[in-house]
Amino acid sequence: MGKYAAKYVSTNQACFFDVSTTIEALCQCVEDDISIYTHSLDNMEILAEKNCDVHLLGGKLQRKNRFLYGSGTINQIEDIHFDIAFLGAAAISEDGIYVVDFEDSYIKRKVAERSTFVCVIADGEKFFNSSTFKAISFDRIDLLITTKEPPENIEKRMKDSGTVIEIV
């Protein structure tokens, strides 16, 4: 999925790469000479090996999932317009994507507000997971890249909201 999503990244874009193992795979597949903003330490480590313009958004460390969050992170996001944002998800339900951490949900919501195009990259198993905190609704998602057809009820809600689904 990461390799497939990389085709949506181009030079002269301000890209946001979310915290997610799937987004980490995207980091490994991107070409040089792009501008990426992230709050993920894992993404930053991968991207540091490439010839990319990498911006690490600061904040308080969430140790378990290795991302930065808090008012400092949000304030930085408020000052940036992203051409494209790549977001992950812990679960996909009938009303949007969900995550495990409240802080993560707030960052995703704020990034989606500040982005021209929002792409969620999530394994097809996420349709059968549940999680605690809603991040964003389908009306904020332009594209979902996944590995399986969504359940009929979720697919209908996504299409009604204008979300395009690409299965790889």
Task: Give the model confidence (pLDDT) of 62-99 as tens digits.
Answer: 888 899 999 999 999 999 999 999 999 999 999 999 99
Beta strands in the chain (DSSP E): 14-17, 35-38, 53-56, 60-62, 67-69, 82-87, 91-93, 96-99, 115-121, 133-136, 143-146, 164-167
Give burial (CB, 10 Å; 0-12/13-18/19+) of 57. buried
d(CA 144, CA 99): 16
Each residue's pLDDT tens digit, 13-46: 999 999 999 999 999 999 877 899 999 999 999 9
How many angstroms separate the CA atoms of 113 and 138, rounded? Answer: 13
Provide the whole-model pTM.
Answer: 0.95
Contacts within 8 Å (CB) and 24+ apart, 43-50? 43/17, 43/19, 47/17
Q: How many domains does the chain have?
A: 1
**Residue partners of 67: CB distance under 8 A and separation at least 6:** 19, 39, 40, 41, 61, 104, 107
Q: Identify the domain containing residue 81 by its residue range.
A: 2-167
Domain containing residue 151: CATH number: 3.40.50.1360
Q: What is the pLDDT of residue 115?
A: 98
pLDDT band at 12 (very low <50, low <70, confident <90, very high): confident
Largest CA distance in the chain: 42
Amino acid at 148: K
Place of tokens 């960052």: 107
